[in-house]
Structures are given as structure tokens and as C-alpha cells.
């Protein structure tokens, strides 16, 4: 009996993951609003809480970009992310301009991808361990 309960519990993340594409569906938003309201989180939908939540999530994204920025591509992706975050905030809450807001979201995605893209080093790359081992073998001969 317990193993069935545990197996059912283990299936919950996969069910939740399969529902993720439905988050973009505009027809599903009333269902999500009803679900949030039924568990007492309906207040999150109001505009009063939307601004601080947006600022908090944008700050989290920018904090992730600035974390160890020197080891990646420097501060250029972070600066692009700052422009993008200000575009999102201004487009959504100040000017109420949807194209500016979506442009800011697009720039934020681009800056995040730029920040996480592997860095290509030039010809001054450090020698790899296989090169060091090869040199040591040649010296010993």
C-alpha cells in the first residue's frame, strides 16, 4: 500500500513538468487564477503586488548575471540586462507600452544567453593536462 502511495508521489513532478507548456496559453490563465485564489494566493494577481514581484525577479536575474561576471564575458551582458530590465519596468508600469516591454524581455533573454555562452579563448590558451603530460614524457626520454 505504501509503495503505491510513494509511486504516485514520485509521478507528481512529471505531471507538473508536462503542464509547463500550458503556462503560455491565454485560455488557461483563468484556470490558474482560480487555482491561486482557491489556495489563498489570489492577491498575487493584483497590480499592487505585481510591481514588487517583477522588480524582485528582475533583480534576481541581474544578480545571476553579475555573479562571477569577470570569469565569463565581463560586465557587458550585465549592462545589456540592466537596459532590458529598465525596458521591462518602464514598458509595463510607466508607459504601458507592450512593444517596449516585450522588447525588454527579448533583450533580457539575449543578455542571459550571452552571459552563459561558453567563452572562446584566443591563442593564449593555457596548456591542457595532456599537453603537460606529453612534455614530461618527452623530457624523460
* 136 located within any domain: no
Q: What is the pLDDT of residue 22?
A: 53
Q: What is the pLDDT of residue 126?
A: 53
* 62 located within any domain: yes
* 99 located within any domain: yes
Angstrom distance (rounded) from CA 42 to CA 134: 65
Q: What is the pLDDT of residue 75?
A: 92
* 33 located within any domain: no
**Number of domains composing the chain:** 1
Per the listing, cell 513532478 goes with: 13
Angstrom distance (rounded) from CA 13 to CA 42: 23
Cα–Cα distance list, 44 to 51, 52, 70, 105, 130 (Å)? 10, 10, 36, 21, 55
Q: What is the pLDDT of residue 48?
A: 75
Domain span at residue 80 reads 46-120
Q: What is the pLDDT of residue 31?
A: 73
Angstrom distance (rounded) from CA 42 to CA 29: 12
Whether the predicted model's global pTM rises above the 0.85 cut: no
Q: What is the pLDDT of residue 79?
A: 95
Residues of the chain with pLDDT under 50: none
Q: What is the pLDDT of residue 8?
A: 65
Angstrom distance (rounded) from CA 60 to CA 65: 9
What is the tally of helices (H) and strands (E) in the chain?
6, 0
- Show the cell assigned to 46: 493584483
Amino acid at each position: 500500500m505504501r509503495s503505491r502511495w510513494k509511486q504516485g508521489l514520485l509521478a507528481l513532478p512529471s505531471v507538473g513538468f508536462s503542464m509547463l507548456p500550458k503556462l503560455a496559453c491565454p485560455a488557461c490563465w483563468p484556470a490558474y487564477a482560480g487555482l491561486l485564489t482557491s489556495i489563498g494566493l489570489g492577491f498575487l494577481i493584483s497590480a499592487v503586488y505585481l510591481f514588487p514581484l517583477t522588480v524582485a525577479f528582475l533583480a534576481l536575474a541581474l544578480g545571476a548575471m553579475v555573479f562571477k561576471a569577470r570569469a565569463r564575458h565581463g560586465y557587458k551582458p550585465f549592462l545589456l540586462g540592466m537596459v532590458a530590465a529598465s525596458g521591462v519596468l518602464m514598458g509595463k508600469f510607466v508607459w504601458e507600452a507592450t512593444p517596449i516591454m516585450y522588447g525588454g524581455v527579448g533583450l533580457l533573454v539575449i543578455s542571459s544567453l550571452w552571459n552563459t555562452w561558453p567563452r572562446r579563448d584566443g591563442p593564449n590558451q593555457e596548456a591542457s593536462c595532456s599537453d603537460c603530460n606529453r612534455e614530461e614524457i618527452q623530457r624523460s626520454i
